[in-house]
Structure 1
Amino acid sequence: MQDVWHLMQQQPWFFLLSVGLVSTCIGSFLNVVIYRLPVMMETEWKSECKVILGQQESNDNNAQTNSKSFNLITPRSTCPSCSTQIKVQHNIPILSWLFLKGRCANCDTPISVRYPSIEMLTAISSLWVAWHFGATSLSLLYILITWGLIALIFIDIDKMLLPDQITQPMLWLALLSAAVGYTIAPVDALWGAALGYLSLWSVYWLFKLLTGKEGMGYGDFKLLAIFGALLGWEAIITIILLSSVVGAVIGSVQLSVQGKDKATPIPFGPYLAIAGWLCLFYGESLKSWYLNLLGV
């Protein structure tokens, strides 16, 4: 394994090729996570609500069996239209979709372009990290973070939800990476995580006290805590400003195109994730830019 890693460090093309191939496959798995994890969570919530309300299911054994049989591994993926199990040769990331011309091999029903798009997005964003940071431990860390962010972005778009099952491991990964010396000083990581969480938590409660409405969810607090743990507390202001501006512009355009009222809630997590991801590369440049813009 050390020989392979040494070869990647000596031959950048081999490192980039490996990252591209692996990330494309991970993108295929992320499609599964994006769809199945919210379903698994909703099933668990319904079960817990029945327990709290004292409502016993008519067949507890069958309910437990069904919940165990639906997870990130089983059952195997099927066509949403004809329920035919997807064969291995029809499940090759990006290539299978192109070969089948975006249609099911069995019923010829169109397959959403979103699936290969997520696979391609995962590969391109991971390659960008690999190219920028090279064959280093920091590069591997940021690639893992990138995978988690892609899953969070699309789950938030679909369900207005940032699952703890993803945000909490990412936060611990960020803190442990600081502890072993991959990123910033451990104390800075702790302060960054705490202030990242508390900054949006304070905005949330201030907005709720003034309007009686909830402006964002707790998942957003945890997401900013992750970036605080990775980059330190000084990056928090840059991330909040960038995500707010981008969110306001894109959100307004999106609501206008869709013909929805401006009071319609939109997920903030994707903008926060994109802003934080950009700050991994260009945090200092962005900070200097807006400080110069403000004349500071």
Structure 2
Amino acid sequence: MELIIAFTIGAVLGSFYNVLIHRLPRGMSIVHPPSHCPNCKTKIRWRDNIPILSYLLLKGRCRYCAHPIPLRYLLVELASGLLAVLCYLKWGLSYELLIFYFFFSALLVASVIDWETFLLPDSITLGGLVTGLVLSFFRRDISPWESFLGAALGGAFFLLIYLYYTRLRKVEGLGLGDVKLMAFIGSFTGLYGVAYAVGLGSVLGLLYAFPIILKNRNLQFVIPYGPFLSAGCFLGVMLDLKRFLVNF
């Protein structure tokens, strides 16, 4: 029952995350107007706004104009529900549960936005950075010094990579959004989280890009880096790789 409750709360919040994903890159208000079909502009009634269930009952289409609803809406709600369950299983009903669910939810929203638009909103990255630094004063698992050091070194490392590409090679190897994202990740997880994001994120990115390289037989393509950095950090934290690294 506890896991069902956790999943339900996560799925409900996932419905709100879909609002953020759609509206933040477009500079729209997240509270007005109410949820509506982007195609016919009809206001969505409560019965058509039940997470996961409504998408399945409507067969992925608007009730009024039959316009397809992107599969992303269902996937984000499912991901948010599963995220809540995983966080509950790892941290129980605790302060850490709330902190890490908020952190991973922000990474989820940022990753989907980056995947769709190649943008990482400052409201998430910089807002998350400030939040991570402030929360470090009230956490038991990380000190303010560790939070600040993780944010500073995570952001600085990627800033150097950004400057190398833009100033020396005259191309954009990665964006400033990735720099801010790494500072955000470091503020919540310290240097270990930065290591997870860079190490595991690079491996995941390479696994995704390798088939594209083989198909196109060149390196002239662009993929968003944010989702892979976020996934790397998520895996490292959930698998508790800090213990492995410390013992190693």
- TM value normalised by structure 1: 0.76
What's the offset of the Cα at 1:171?
A: 1.4
2:105 corresponds to 1:147: yes
**Matching of residue 123 in structure 1 with residue 81 in structure 2:** yes
Q: CA deviation at 1:19?
A: 2.5
Q: CA deviation at 1:255?
A: 6.5
2:238 matched to which residue of 1?
281
Query: CA offsets per residue over residues 203-240 of structure 1, 9 Å max, x none?
Result: 22223344111211122112212222222224423421
How far off is 1:121 after superposition?
Answer: 0.8
SS of structure 1 residue aligned to 2:14: helix
Match in the other structure for 1:66: none
List runs of 5+ in structure 1 lacking aligned partners: 1-12, 41-69, 292-296
CA distance in 1, matches of 2:65, 2:227: 34
**Structure 2 counterpart of 1:177, one-letter code:** L
Q: In structure 2, which of residues 8, 14, 32 is the aligned counterpart of residue 27 of structure 1?
A: 14
Tell me the amino acid that sits aligned with residue 26 of structure 1: L
CA contact (8 A) 1:183 1:231 kept: no
Matches within 5 A, 1:1-296: 13-14=1-2, 16-40=3-27, 70-254=28-212, 262-282=219-239, 283-284=241-242, 287=245
Which residue type is aligned with residue 207 of structure 2? Answer: V
Query: Could you give the per-residue CA deviations for residues 3-28 of structure 1, whole angstroms, max 9, x where no partner exists?
Result: xxxxxxxxxx43x3433222111111
C-alpha separation between the residues in 2 aligned to 1:263 and 1:148?
Answer: 30
Please state how far the C-alpha of 1:285 moved relative to its aligned partner: 5.6
Q: Supply the distance in 1 between the matched residues of 2:217 and 2:79 (Cα, whole angstroms).
A: 28
Encode CA deviations 1:173-222: one digit per residue, 9 max, x unaligned.
22222211343121111111111110111122223344111211122112
- 2-side partners of 1:240 and 1:132: how far apart? 23
Structure with bigger gyration radius: 1
Matched position secondary structure for 1:243: helix
C-alpha deviation, 1:89, in angstroms = 0.8
How much has 1:286 moved relative to structure 2? 6.2
* Count of residues in Structure 1 that have an aligned counterpart in Structure 2: 247
Let me know the Cα RMSD of the aligned residues: 2.2
Q: TM-score, normalised by structure 2?
A: 0.90
State the distance in 2 between where 1:254 and 1:166 align.
30
| C-alpha distance 173-106 of structure 1, shift in aligned 2 (>3 A) | same
Displacement of 1:256: 6.1
Whichever residue aligns with residue 25 of structure 1, its letter is V
**Secondary structure of the equivalent of 2:100?**
helix
* Counterpart amino acid of residue 98 in structure 1: L
Q: Which runs of 5+ in 2 are unaligned?
A: none
